[in-house]
Amino acid sequence: MRLLDAIDRKPLDRPPIWFMRQAGRYLPEYQALRSEYSFSEAVHNPAVAAEITLQPVRRFGLDAAIVFADIMTPLEALGIPIEFTPGPTLDPLPLEAIVELPDLDPESVSGVAETVAAVREALDPNVAVIGFAGAPFTLLVYLLEGGGSKTFAVARAELRRRPDLAEQALGRLAAAMQTYLGVQIGAGANVVQLFDSWVGLLPVDQFVTLAGPAADRSLASLPAPAIYFAPHGPHLLRYLETVQADVYGVDWRLPLDEAWLQIGVDTPIQGNLDPAVLLTDPETVRAATREVLGRAGDWPGHIFNLGHGILPTTSVENVEAMVAAVKEYR
């Protein structure tokens, strides 16, 4: 598999390409299917979720398929009611309640395992299946605040006010995510990614002492390579080794080579085209894609991706231009 070869830092004629949220609203076939199913219904129906996972791979010939699910899926399995309106909303939980969450029963996420297994069976053997989970810190801030936020100030204040209890809560979530990722690997995922979507809000000290160790525990002893993605966090690049991942994803805020030098060029890196580029035109997309590829130079271990999820208003034509530019690159 090209993705696994890149993670092993083998010389390749071109880097592998996949992109975050590649199964989604920008695709007409996704929109057609979603006209029949709500988001929650699609996520919890393995046949539908598998079909959505496969759609972008069929259309673009990508090197990996990331399972269609949501970072909240394992929290629902822990008995937490969640609605999507369209983002996740739930009753806020105090740290004391999070610390008392039960262990994640693998059977409670068997639907995701079925999705992974169906995707693995349907795909070409050379195309990787990527499982994923939300990192403990990112899940914790949603639980504490009851939904999304631009600042998650309430949650950040709790981490300052009660760091010992926050550490325990992060530990409970880390154990659950380790189980959840293990279930996906057991079902056929070749690689997993841990999304720490909001960790960039933290200063370095809290990343190193709280969020990073919890993410590291989530990935401990997994029998497959792991990618750790911490967007909005250029200040954290020098400290990412707190999380012992095989690959680190980076967003678009720093040029790829600058970010890679901070992480260490002997470590595989994933990224980092600005998703907004895909709102322009094919010529601009191809040029920007070649710029990212050129920044990677001759260093082995580059996985081409966006610096964040694809935007819903992206045109299919521009995605085709990006994929072609990667595949034509030598």
Closest by Cα among 253, 268, 179 to 217: 179
The catalytic residue among 63, 70, 196, 216 is: 70
The catalytic residue among 21, 156, 172, 217 is: 21
Strands 83-84 and 128-134: unpaired
Any idea what the Cα angle at residue 75 is, between residues 214 and 22, rounded to 5°? 85
> CB of 272 within 8 A of CB of 309?
no
- 70 catalytic per annotation: yes
Closest by Cα among 92, 137, 100, 113 to 44: 113
- 13 catalytic per annotation: no
The catalytic residue among 2, 63, 120, 142 is: 142
Which two structure tokens, joined as six digits, stand for 160? 């300052």
- 253 catalytic per annotation: no
Closest by Cα among 210, 218, 169 to 71: 218
The catalytic residue among 14, 25, 253, 290 is: 25
Which two structure tokens, joined as six digits, stand for 290? 């070649």
- 5 catalytic per annotation: no
Which of helix, strand or coil describes residue 167?
Answer: helix
Residues sharing a CB contact under 8 Å with residue 265, sequence separation 6 or more, in sequence order: 299
- 37 catalytic per annotation: no
The catalytic residue among 34, 59, 253, 290 is: 34
Residues acting as catalytic residues: 21, 25, 34, 70, 142
